[in-house]
A and B are shown apart, each in its own frame.
Chain A
Amino acid sequence: MNDEILYDLKSISKSFVKGKEQVTVFDGLNMSIKQGDFLAIMGPSGSGKTTLLNMLGGVDQPTGGEVWFDGNRVDTLSENGLAQWRANNIGFIFQFYNLMPMLNAARNIELPLLLTNLSKAQRKKSVATALELVELSDRAKHMPNELSGGQQQRVAIARAIISDPKLLLCDEPTGDLDRHTADEILQMLQLLNEKFGKTIVMVTHDPRAAEFAKRTLHLDKGEFVEKDLAA
């Protein structure tokens, strides 16, 4: 594991304008994420976890500050530039899996590859490898509604890693799963981190989920607090 910095947020501010009211979520937040890190972000509801994750994923733009990824500034990219950047660098894992209900597991996993120039045969091969990795080779042709929650999340993980992104962003990836299934998913994330060198940022409410990460940051009112030391 090298100590190269993958992600650098410099003095980020973020506020939402709702009618006349302005909600400031972040005001001068600094954060850096090293290559190969597995970071859990915890914090009370409304502390800004999802907002932070959205900015990390280029899904939402900060109001101020700079976002540097792998040595490039990304907060200045256009909307389609960001989409392209996401396709190349980010894998998302959602709480509710967000699979396309009309596509089978294999086709769901293949989706990000449609943004590449890979041939059909190459795509098929990659999908098979990813299915194997998440231990769902026998479910390739199943539709999402024929899969359990855990299986659906594994399909989503396969989709997130299929185009080999550097960073995986997970928002409550186990929030909708039972303890046992959650552990399986978390172990899978751990494997991706340790064996495949994926950098992972995971938002969670669950302290047990956070234990799977290498380190945990606590967010409170838009600032990181040293909860570990206090505890």
Chain B
Amino acid sequence: MTSIFSQIWAVVAMNIRSLPRRLWMSLAAVFAVTVVVAVLLSFLSMARGFSQTLEGAGSESTAIITRSGSRSELNSSMSNETVKILSTAPGIARDANDNPIYSAELYVIVDGIKRTSKTEANIPMRGISPVGFDLRENVEIIEGRLFTTGRNEIIVGAGVLREFEGFEIGKELRFGNTEWTVVGVFSTGGSAFESELWTDARTVQTQFRRGSSYQTMRVLLETPGDVSGMVELVENDPRLNLDVETEAAFFAEQGEALSYIVIVGWVISFLMALGALAGALNTMYTSVSSRAAEIATLRALGFSNTSAFVGTLVESVLLSLIGGAIGAFLSYIFMDGISTSTLGASFTQVVFTFSLTSDLFINGVWLALIIGVVGGFFPAWQAARLPVMVAFRQGN
């Protein structure tokens, strides 16, 4: 029994030593798996990064109120009246002076020039009330200072600074009819808000001629996750036509629409994997037929057909795993941590970071392994069934 391992090992070693004879074909098989794994991991890391961004954005202790059915902040609108009524709803946390803690916000779209493509893209500019800053978790000014109420000052999300040109502190920008000054940079730990510009809500109302209307309202909840008080109020007041959700639920919903990235990624990778599989099969059948005399000779010498089988399978799995490792490595080098932006649900740019986590890597390794095993199995079977008589028929 000990000899079965030395047999298999000897056959595997011989196969590997004979690889240079089939160099180009083997490299092609490796390359095919590389591409498949790289594509899969790119999609998965993109989806992961996107959902991390959206998940990170939502908090359980904040509720977001939008006009019923608007689905996104941009399509929502609400009057100052509505904001006033809602601020009296039960369940809203109150400050030391017993005033409800909420931020009525509005949202305009401005243009910025992307660093990579030098093209214009939309950036949401959000007007918040001073407490709005505290209504977001993990938010902090990482450079400069907060905007001052009533002045044309903005703070920029770290994602915007990364992706767009001309948002450094001190820069003057022209949006609408007015000049704005960048006074600070804020970070939210990678969530969607990082792709926004923030300023004072009143200033936005004035400069963009929005009267006294807002689009959304954020409130701090007395009990995290509990929006029942506000929901009840909205249901009992026919003037109010609003959706009340925790922020976490709101963003999760937005993220769901993008789960198609994962599905598309798997479908494309699967189709490409079929191609790689065909390549692996072809390579391995060629390998077996080019080694036929050697396999048969070893069998004549007393090597078991198991060793011929395993030797071939190992060659295939090895080529595939090398391909998979290169694919994973390349996607790690080129994908992980790169920021990009995509059109978010509200037609604005959501800046997010590709995130290639180890559980995603495992998907790539599995895919490579499956290609290697399936692509090697049938040729290996043929190798094991090769008649030993072949050894007598031809020379090397």
User: Which chain A residues have a beta carbon within 8 Å of chain B's beta carbons?
Assistant: 50, 53-54, 57, 59-60, 79-80, 83-88, 90, 92, 94-103, 111-112, 114-117, 144, 159, 171, 176
Contacts and interface: CB of A to CB of B under 8 A. Distances in A.
A203 to B, nearest CB: 10
17 contacts: A50-B392, A53-B392, A54-B392, A57-B300, A59-B389, A84-B304, A92-B300, A95-B395, A97-B396, A101-B396, A103-B17, A111-B10, A111-B301, A112-B302, A114-B6, A117-B3, A144-B396
A83 B389 contact: no
A54 B3 contact: no
Interface stretch (B67-75, B233-241, B278-286, B290-298): B290-298
Given A59-B388, A95-B395, A88 B3 contact: no
Given A103-B17, A117-B3, A176-B395, 13 more contacts: A59-B392, A60-B388, A86-B301, A86-B302, A87-B301, A87-B303, A98-B297, A98-B395, A111-B10, A112-B302, A114-B6, A115-B3, A144-B396
B392 A112 contact: no
A59 B300 contact: yes
Contacts of B298: 100, 111
B360 to A, nearest CB: 38
Nearest to A86: B302
Given A54-B389, A86-B301, A92-B301, A114 B396 contact: no
B18 interface: yes
Contact of B294 (A57, A79, A100): A100
Contacts of B293: 98
A60 B7 contact: no
Most-contacted residue by chain A among B7, B298, B392, B395 (CB, 10 A) = B392
B300 A86 contact: yes
Interface string B139-151: 0000000000000
B297 A88 contact: no
Contacts, number: 91
A115 B6 CA distance: 7
Given A57-B300, A59-B388, A88-B302, A103 B396 contact: no
B302 A102 contact: no
B2 A83 contact: no
A83 B302 contact: yes
A94 B7 contact: no
A-B residue pairs, 4 tightest by C-beta: A87-B302, A96-B395, A102-B17, A98-B297
A80 B306 CA distance: 9
B389 A60 contact: yes
B271 interface: no
Contacts of A87: 301-303
Contact of B391 (A59, A85, A88, A176): A59
B301 A112 contact: yes
A98 B396 contact: yes
User: What is the interface of chain B mostly: helix, strand, loop, or mixed?
Assistant: helix
B303 to A, nearest CB: 7
Contacts of B294: 98, 100-101
Nearest to B385: A79
A54 B2 CA distance: 28
A112 B305 CA distance: 15
A90 B6 CA distance: 20
A114 B6 CA distance: 6
A94 B302 contact: no
A95 B394 CA distance: 9
Contacts of A114: 3, 6-7, 10
Contacts of A92: 297, 300-301, 391
A181 to B, nearest CB: 16
B14 interface: yes
Contacts of B10: 111, 114
Contact of B7 (A54, A95, A115): A115
Contacts of A85: 302
Interface in B292-326: 293-294, 297-306
B179 to A, nearest CB: 75
B2 to A, nearest CB: 6
B6 A100 contact: no
A114 B304 CA distance: 12
Contacts of B3: 114-117
Interface string B357-396: 0000000000000000000000000000001110110111
A84 B392 contact: no
A102 B18 contact: yes
Contacts of B301: 86-87, 92, 111-112, 115, 159
Given A83-B302, A88-B302, A92-B300, A103 B391 contact: no
Nearest to B4: A115
